[in-house]
Structure 1
Amino acid sequence: MDKVIGILAGSLRKASFSKKIAEAIIEFAPEGYEFKMVSLEDLPIYNQDFDDYNDVPQAIHLFRETMKGISGVIFVTPEYNRSVPGVLKNAIDVGSRPYNKSIWDKKPAAVFSNSPGHLSGFGANHHLRQSLVFLNMPTMQQPEVYLAQIKNDIDENGHLKEGDTKAFLKKAVAAYISWFEKNAV
């Protein structure tokens, strides 16, 4: 049975660079692994009353069940206002509740950040890592994946172009698999 790695893109827009990167990453899954894009589009904003009053929306229930079957996670994130996009932070919150029932615990993670500009999502990358420490997700440290000016690496059909960025992503995914093998429980 293949090990399943969840790919979470932290942007909802149709032309999202993060989604395009995530789609490219799926193609890099080595033998024995399945890379699965996990949508964040239908998740309502988390409200603890959902769990306190046993009124959890179906989309949250489905997300939690999907993530329980995932062995590791690659987060692909843009940067909004020098931090993590709300949709991605919401997914983290949804998965971390109810307290002591986190679906994130001990799942090896990696953070791949990107931006159309020069800063490459540095702030989002580091803010996301802070949450992952609390969630007890061992997170790959090297190589660091900051993709600047990603718009130049996407072709007119929305695919990642051949070149240095694609080659670097393949190496980063291979490093993640090695990291995963050492840290999976």
Structure 2
Amino acid sequence: MTASTTIAVLVGSVRDGSLNHQLARIAAENAPGSTAVTIVEGLESVPFYSEDLDSPTGIPAAAAALRESVGAADAVLLVTPEYNGTLPAVLKNAIDWASRPFGEGAIKDKPVAVAGISAGQYGGKWAHDDARRSAGVAGARVVENLTLSIGGAYQRFAEHGPADDAELVEQIREVVTELANAVAVAA
């Protein structure tokens, strides 16, 4: 069966075992039947955005792969922890590359939602707010009420990982479902 909706996931943590990578995998593994969720790998290899690197004659391969992945998707899910009260640089950089060329970037008009797990009690809310704001300025169509901020990570997942948390699995599945619905509404 071919997926009718595709969602690219950009993860703000580059550590393989991170809770946010686990959340992204849960989203991919539990997507509804007609939705394909793909984690965009290699964000740590994308150089910091610079107009000197972004030229009509070509861009770095990792940046081109990022733009291609975002451009081919119907929607984008940003999955991020909170670093020092905001989103990690790797995610902000990915949004910057996906926003160019200005007004025509790969993320333009794509429905975007934000989810994440963080150690703080508010679940990375500041980072999630900043990610939504950055994506919106970049031209994305942010689905404002569609967010999942899971706090208290060290306590909540001290004995079992996120994949063993039935409530969390259902919550991220709902986010993916609603993001796919936002694509359908825009069509």
Do the structures match in fold with TM over 0.5?
Answer: yes
Counterparts in 2 of 1:55-70, with a 5 A limit? Answer: 55-70=58-73
Alignment of 1:49-60 (within 5 A): 49-52=52-55, 54-60=57-63
CA contact (8 A) 1:25 1:173 kept: yes
Q: 1:59 to 1:144 in 2, by over 3 A?
A: closer
Q: TM-score, normalised by structure 1?
A: 0.88
**1:41 alignment partner, one of 16, 39, 44:** 44
Residue in structure 2 matched with residue 24 of structure 1 by the alignment: 26
Distance change in 2, residues 1:97/1:144 (3 Å) = closer
Aligned to 1:164: 167
Q: RMSD between aligned alpha carbons?
A: 2.1
Question: Identity over aligned residues, as a percent?
Answer: 28
Alpha-carbon contact 2:77-2:115 (below 8 Å) kept: yes
Structure 2 gaps of 5+ residues are: none
Name the residue aligned to 1:107: 110
For 1:79, the equivalent position in structure 2 comes to: 82
Question: For residues 130 and 101 of structure 1, what CA distance do their matches in structure 2 show?
Answer: 18
Instruction: Find the aligned partners of 2:78 and 2:56 in 1 and give their Cα distance.
Output: 30
- Structure 2-normalised TM-score? 0.87
